[in-house]
Structure 1
Amino acid sequence: MHIARSSLSAALMATSVRAFSPAASSSFRSSAAISNLSSRTFSSTTSLNANVLKLTEPAKDLLPDVDVFIFDCDGVIWRGDSVIEGIPETLEKLRALGKKMYFVTNNSTKSRKGYKKKFDSLGLDVPAEEIFSSSFAAAAYLEQTNFKESGKKVYVVGEVGIQEELDLIGVPHFGGPEDGGKQPDMGPGGALPHDSDVGAVIVGFDRNINYYKFNMLIVY
């Protein structure tokens, strides 16, 4: 099995509940609505290719008609290490109105725990159960497919976020930041180590990508 990228859909993330706490499981079940929102939010005839209307002025009727808000993070909630102006007040207003909110990112460098810390550092009270990262999606997919029962390992090209999510579901792994300083043996007879127990490769953003990791990807 190869997971070409660690960014999977929010709908896929909402299918795996067994590896997480009861609170998280409840969030998974309720967040299944992400992929099947009521007709008040999206018309049943809306297609992926439909044109999305751009708001040219404040829509006074928007809030009463929308139950769930899904936010990207980088460039929407924060920019670098700074919260974007108006976001704290906006989120507070939506919570006061009883709206459900989810925060989605295809950045796998952090786990949900890591993103929770970032939200906290920006003064934003966001429960981990509302955070959907691609690192979490990859782990959720392995959990859904009962990968742990295979007894296989995962080779990681990526950063600590993927590793932390794999730890939560008890799936053994190696690679990641630990292979950042390694170089392949390019000399005569040079060979790469090969672990026959590797059953999946997860590839995410890796600031320390190198030829060793590329070669390991080819091996597996």
Structure 2
Amino acid sequence: MAEGLLTADAARSLVGSVDAFLFDCDGVIWKGDELIQGVPETLELLRKLGKKLVFVTNNSRKSRRQYSKKFKTLGLEVTEEEIFTSSFAAAMFLKLNKFSPEKKVYVVGEDGILDELKLAGFECFGGPEDGKKNIMLEANFYFDHDKSVGAVIVGLDQYFNYYKMQYASLCIRENPGCLFIATNRDPTGHMTSAQEWPGAGTMVAAVSCSVQKEPIVVGKPSSFLMDFLLKSFNLETSRMCMVGDRLDTDILFGQNTGCKTLLVLSGVTTLPELQDASNTIHPDLYTNSVYDLVKLLQQ
């Protein structure tokens, strides 16, 4: 199946056939801390047309509250209820699966995960704090870990180190029934506007390799986030459009859950990658950036 270039007719037809737009953030709304051109106009127009807007990001470094502040700083009015992060998804996964409040959660990740877990009422530790800890690999060194840890959550972590890898591995291997949860498996991401950086998938792969076990993934392209989204809003997936810059997460997420899909080339995926014969993930439509929606609808 070949994807179609977004034309004026296709843009009108798309907007007419959907009630909600789900936007990825990194590479679609912003790059690092820089807003992508035309984003405010696009969101304003879609809201004027009565569309529901939801922001679905795999970046677990911030909580929904912190993301809401970031939107505000960039001049965009977005409420916490409109934001779905993989850090929030991880906390909700534990809540929906009746994770025992007696048990603790070890976090290989940043404040976003810790904040969402605390808001959901779970006891957690690890995070940036453990990025400062070192270990001495000496003959009789024994690494102790908390036996009451019932889940390990791994997300994007700029403070990732050997200490955390061992702590997470011991909990998963030695604590009976300990859950191994990954916020997402993105190999790279636009952590700054200048270039791509290793994504959460690299940290997940390290822990996964150590424990020889696959994690439960709660972010895109897993359908868990969508199930939760549908519980929060009264929407049908066939009346939604997922807008993203990654084929393997955003577009696959949309396809897995029955949404229409629009790929924008303002982030990770390039046109040659999209059109490469080896690519098996094809969005319904593609265009350069979200701003094209405004320009085409005005034609």
TM-score normalised by L of structure 2: 0.55
Aligned-residue Cα RMSD (Å) equals: 1.4
Task: Give, in whole Å, the separation in 1 of the partners of 2:145 and 2:38.
Answer: 51
* Unaligned 5+ runs, structure 2: 172-299
Provide Cα deviations, 1:109-165, integer angstroms capped at 9, x if missing partner: 00001110100000000111111111001001001011144x100000000000000
Aligned to 1:95: 47
How far apart, in 2, do the equivalents of 1:139 and 1:148 lie?
Answer: 13
Give the structure 2 partner of residue 123 of structure 1: 75
Query: Are 2:176 and 1:186 equivalent residues in the alignment?
Result: no
- Contact residue 180 and residue 208 of structure 1 kept, 8 A: yes
Cα deviation for residue 62 of structure 1 reads 2.4
1:69–1:179 Cα change, 3 Å: same
Q: Would the alpha carbon gap of residues 127 and 51 (structure 1) be closer, same or farther in structure 2, given more than 3 Å must change? A: farther
Q: 1:191 to 1:104 in 2, by over 3 A?
A: same
Aligned partner of 1:183: which letter? N
Q: Within 5 A, what are the aligned runs for 1:37-48?
A: none
Residue 65 of structure 1 aligns with which residue?
17
User: After the TM superposition, which parts of structure 1 deviate over 6 Å for at least 4 consecutive aligned residues?
Assistant: none
2:128 paired with 1:177:
yes
Instruction: Using the TM superposition, give the Cα deviation of residue 64 of structure 1 relative to its aligned residue in structure 2, in angstroms.
Output: 1.8
Whether 2:142 is the aligned partner of 1:160: answer no
**Any residues of structure 2 matched to 1:109-148 within 5 Å, and which?**
109-148=61-100
Describe the superposition over 1:29-80 as per-residue Cα deviations: whole angstroms up to 9, x where unpaired: xxxxxxxxxxxxxxxxxxxxx6543324562332222111011101111122
Structure 1 residues without counterparts, runs of 5 or longer: 1-49
SS of the residue aligned with 2:150?
A: strand
1:208 aligns with 2:159: yes
1:80 aligns with 2:37: no
The one-letter code sitting in structure 1 at the alignment partner of 2:148 is: D
CA deviation profile, 1:54-108 (whole Å, cap 9, x unmatched): 3245623322221110111011111221211111011111111110111111110
Which residue in 2 is equivalent to 1:14? none
Distance 2:74 2:100 in 1: 36
**Offset at 1:185?**
2.9
Distance (Å, rounded) in 2 between the aligned partners of 1:51 and 1:131: 31
What number of residue pairs does the alignment pair up?
170
Identity %, equivalent residues: 56
SS in 2 for 1:201: strand
One-letter identity of the residue aligned with 1:78: W
1:138 partner SS: helix
Q: Counterpart in 2 of 1:104?
A: 56
- Tell me: higher relative CO, structure 1 or 2? Use CA pairs within 8 A at least 6 residues apart: 1
1:180-205: per-residue Cα shift (whole Å, max 9, x none)?
Answer: 11112311211112111000000001
